Structure 1
Amino acid sequence: MTAEVAIINKTAIALAADSAITLSLGSDQQKVFDSEDKLFELTRNDPIAVMINSNMHFMEAPLPVLIKRYRSKAPRFDNVAEAATHFLSYLQQFGAASPRETVVRSLYALLEPAFTLVKTRTNDKFYSRVSEAPPEGTADLATYFRQVRLSVLSEQIATVTRALESLEETEVIGDALGDEKDVDEVVSRLVLEHLPDAEGDQLREARELASVILSRRVRWTPHTGVIIAGYGRNEIFPTLISYEMYGMIDGQLRVYKSNDVDVRRGGIKAKVIPFAQKEMVERFLYGLDDEIERKIEDFCKRSIPSIREETLNYLVMEDADRDQTAADMIDMEQAFLDALREQTFDVIRKQSEEEIEGMVEFMPKPEMARMAEALVNLTSIKRRVTRGMETVGGPIDCAVISQADGFVWVKRKHYFPQELNRRYFDRMRDQISQAEEA
């Protein structure tokens, strides 16, 4: 996993990223290394950077390698949005040329978690239902159990499909190939492995489930975060755009734009944006994060009904009045929970955000870099002192991008001693000089 932070105001952007990478070596084996590069210059022609997180490979190719290949031939850009579109188109073209075996493995990785979820839910519900006595007059228990199994399977596929349909839709980059045989092959394989009882109706429902997964922002499937920030040649103020990439489907790259921060006069003046494992940064900045909000809401959901029951027990009234009062109290409970989510939490976050960003608006570049590094380090310390693997850690790379100075490294790790590799740095200087002359 990863912790990354971007701090942006009218003067500059500070970017910081840790170096930890988690490798899955099997269903129950993982290994963490703390030497991965996640922050890069996107192009030598303009001060634009790219950060990556989560899945560090794209179609089984290391993203750092693809970024450096792209950088060597990237043109100039009028703005960051143009650079982001061009880079994603480059990845789409690379992905569309992938071997079919790679495409099939990628689709399998995207779809398999949902089919595993359906299998688990189906087993739990089926065993619960068949533990009850079958209806009177049931002669053929095998047929009865099979019908129950198919009914439960359809119910669970429908439940998971409805839940995924409520998620945001992704957008596509590139032209469709018009051939979905890869998806059909992967769905057939997953049904055979996880839902072997499925028949005609369930096979059709499983295909519909796959279509929903491949068109939605399903964050627990493999995906890659891409943050592109800096200045195009026509931009006075910095811009940051971030995407989540959900792989190649039918020759198209599926992406979701998660942030579009365009600093300008009369608009956004400053922003602090955490990425990937961001709960500690949000807790520090806003006093809340998704986990704390969820725990508060769960506590209220458990406590409020018991208060209602206790209150009704103390009231003396007719049954009809009691039922009406109970219904009114349930409506008030739901209104309270809605207000808690939509007003209280949002107000706390907004007030804290305004205080922080009011200070960031006038923060000088050195302080922005220190703050970005400190916020990443905060998450690293949290992971170090809690149970589980240290999925955030290692050296922190930090860069500042400004209109006057361009892309500047504040901290950068090397896997080799600089004093022993002068030829490397001479070669880099020569490449930069050639790019500037061109």
Structure 2
Amino acid sequence: MTAEIGILNRSGVALAADSAVTIGGEGNQKVYNSANKLFTLSKIHPVGIMIFGGADFMGVPWETIIKTYRESLGTNQFKSLNDYGKDFIRFLVEDKRFYHEATEKELVTKIFFNKLMDILDSEVNTKINELTITGEPVHNSDVEKIISTVLEDHIETLQQESILIEDKDFIPDFTNKHFNAIKQILESVINFELRLEVLNLFVDYCAKLIRSNYFSNSCTGLVISGYGEDEIFPSLYEYQIEGIFLGKLKYEEMTPILINSYSDDKYSTAAMKPFAQKEMVQSFMNGIEPSLQKQIEHIIKNTITSYNNLLIKNYSLDQKFSDIKEGISETLLELMSEEIDKIQKQYYSEPIMEILEILPKEELAEMAEALVNLTSFKRRISMDAESVGGPVDVCVITKGDGLVWIKRKHYFNPDLNYNFFKNYLKGME
């Protein structure tokens, strides 16, 4: 996992990222504190990029991709930061070195296998157990019927989701390309032969899952922040990127953060955005940890429901009150949530944002580093895996000075590598 943050105001933007990287699966993990997650996107223009989540794209390390793009960008510049993001997305698709059919197949099978195990464990096996309780024998045809019903429900849900890969031929082309791979996975997991109709249902489900707005655990978050040539205030763009399927890049652009001299529905005068592990930053901003707040809201809801039930039981209230008690519970909970939100804004988030608006760039960097270190410290003193840690890389991006490193680790001794820094701007004249 990762802890990263972007803090923006009218003076500039500070980006900070930890160095921890987790290798391996659940129950067999190794954490290293030497990963680079924060980079310059241009050697000479004020644009930075951070990554979180998956460490590679279609089997290629993101660090390699970013530095390859940086070389191809050269001295070129764009009028807006949004154009840098669009050009980077274009680069991912057009550079054929980042794609191979074998890596697409591997990604499809990984996504499908993980979702298949979730469906079998949480839904299919539960329904099978309900049948066995009756004492009647469960045949393969019964299991197929259960699987078909569950899959149809999932497919119907996917039909309501946003489609990120718009291509009318995607499903038939996907079926032709990945049918055998999906069949092999099913044969390795299910101990009897499925009918062709059920196989086709699985393939249809996988195709619609891939093109939907579902993102797997192996997807990567990209954060691009800084200035375009014509912009005097910074902005921040975030993307979720899964991979390339049938020549189409599956990605989603999140709502950007745009700084201006005034605030309205589109612009802000200051902003703070955490990425990956966000709970400590949210605690800092709202005065309470998100998980604790959810538990308190759950307790309040149960208390209100219990109180209504006691009124019905002890005072013999009529059926009319019994019918409306659920509505009363929801209304009271909503009112309490609104009051809590007001308190959090008045005493926590709004005072912080008022100070954030006027913080000089040096203080932005210090604040960004402190919040990442706070997340790292919390993980270190808890029983959770230390998936946040190591040196914190920090940079500040301003219109006049460009991207300036406040803290930056190197895997080598800078004093012994004069040629590295000499060659960094080679060809930029």
Please confirm whether the aligned pair reaches a TM-score higher than 0.5, indicating the same fold: yes
CA deviation digits over 1:134-163, x for unaligned, max 9?
4xxxxxx4xx53343233323433454466
Number of equivalenced pairs: 418
Q: How does 1:34-433 map to 2 (within 5 A)?
A: 34-74=33-73, 75-94=76-95, 98-121=99-122, 122-134=124-136, 141=137, 145-161=139-155, 169-170=163-164, 179-180=173-174, 181-195=176-190, 198-266=194-262, 267-317=267-317, 321-322=318-319, 324-338=320-334, 343-344=338-339, 346-347=341-342, 350-351=345-346, 352-428=348-424, 430-431=425-426
| TM superposition shift of 1:27 | 5.3
Letter in structure 2 aligned against 1:154: S
Q: Which moved more, 1:377-386 or 1:417-426?
A: 417-426
TM-score (norm 1): 0.87
Deviates more, 1:46-55 or 1:123-132: 123-132
Find the residue that maps to 1:294 and give its secondary structure: helix
Secondary structure of the 2:211 match is: coil
| Between 344-353 and 27-36, the greater mean CA deviation after superposition | 344-353
Deviations 1:290-344 (A, max 9, x none): 4234323433454443333222111225xxx32x321200122233445566x35
Equivalent residues of 2:165, 2:248 under 8 A apart: no
Q: What code does the residue aligned with 1:424 have?
A: F
Q: Is the 8 A contact 2:237 2:253 kept in 1?
A: yes
1:184-217 C-alpha deviation (Å, 9 max, x unpaired): 3343233333345543453343234323321333
Out of 39-48 and 406-415, give the one that drifted further.
39-48
* More divergent stretch after superposition (376-385 vs 194-203): 194-203
Determine if contact 1:54/1:276 at 8 Å carries over to the other structure. Answer: yes
String of CA shifts for 1:228-267, please: whole Å, max 9, x gaps: 0001111111111001112112211111222301112333
Moved more, 68-77 or 10-19: 68-77
- Structure 1 residues 192 and 295: CA distance shift in structure 2, 3 A: farther
| Change over 3 Å in CA distance of 1:261–1:104 after alignment to 2 | same
The one-letter code matched in structure 1 to 2:363 is E
Distance, in Å, in 1 between the alignment partners of 2:171 and 2:139 is: 43
TM-score (norm 2): 0.89
Letter in structure 2 aligned against 1:131: I
The one-letter amino acid paired with 2:126 is: D
Seen in structure 2, the aligned counterparts of structure 1 residues 406 and 172 have a Cα distance that, compared at 3 Å, is farther
**Contact 2:49/2:225 (<8 A) preserved:** yes
How much does 1:81 deviate?
Answer: 0.3
- Separation in 1 of the partners of 2:201 and 2:166? 24
1:86/1:205 Cα in 2 relative to 1: closer, same or farther (>3 Å)? same
8 Å CA contact 2:171–2:207 kept in 1: the answer is no
Kindly provide the CA deviation profile for residues 50-84 of structure 1, in whole angstroms up to 9, marking residues without a partner as x: 00011010000100011001101112111110000
Q: Distance in 2 between matches of 1:354 and 1:361?
A: 11
Is 1:243–1:259's contact at 8 Å kept on the other side of the alignment? no
d(CA) in 1 for partners of 2:302, 2:204: 35
Aligned-residue offset at 1:176: 7.2
Distance 2:35 2:220 in 1: 15
| SS of match in other structure, 1:72 | helix
Shift, 1:4, TM fit: 0.2
Tell me, which stretches of 5 or more residues in structure 1 are unaligned?
Answer: 135-140
Contact 2:223 2:237 survives alignment (8 Å)? yes
Q: 1:176 to 1:118 in 2, by over 3 A?
A: closer
Higher mean alpha-carbon deviation, 6-15 vs 281-290, is at 281-290
Seen in structure 2, the aligned counterparts of structure 1 residues 165 and 95 have a Cα distance that, compared at 3 Å, is: farther
**Contact 1:92 1:252 (8 Å CA) reproduced:** yes
- State the one-letter code of the partner of 1:120: D
Is the contact between residue 60 and residue 98 of structure 2 (CA under 8 Å) also seen in structure 1? Answer: no
8 Å Cα contact 1:399/1:410 also seen in 2:
yes
The code of the aligned residue for 1:358 comes to E
Q: 1:328 to 1:86 in 2, by over 3 A?
A: same
The 10-residue stretch of structure 1 (360-369 or 107-116) with the greater mean CA deviation from structure 2: 107-116
CA contact (8 A) 2:15 2:365 kept: yes
Confirm or deny: 8 A CA contact 2:261 2:269 kept in the other structure: yes
Distance 1:106 1:383 in 2: 30
User: 1:69 is paired with a residue of what secondary structure?
Assistant: helix
Residue deviations 1:76-132, cap 9 Å, x none? 111110000000111122368622111100112222221111110211321133112
Distance 1:56 1:345 in 2: 38
Shift of residue 166 of structure 1? 6.2
Q: Please tell me the root mean square deviation across aligned C-alpha atoms, in Å.
A: 2.6
State the distance in 1 between where 2:208 and 2:336 align: 31
Matched with 1:138 is none
* Structure 2 unaligned blocks of 5 or more: none
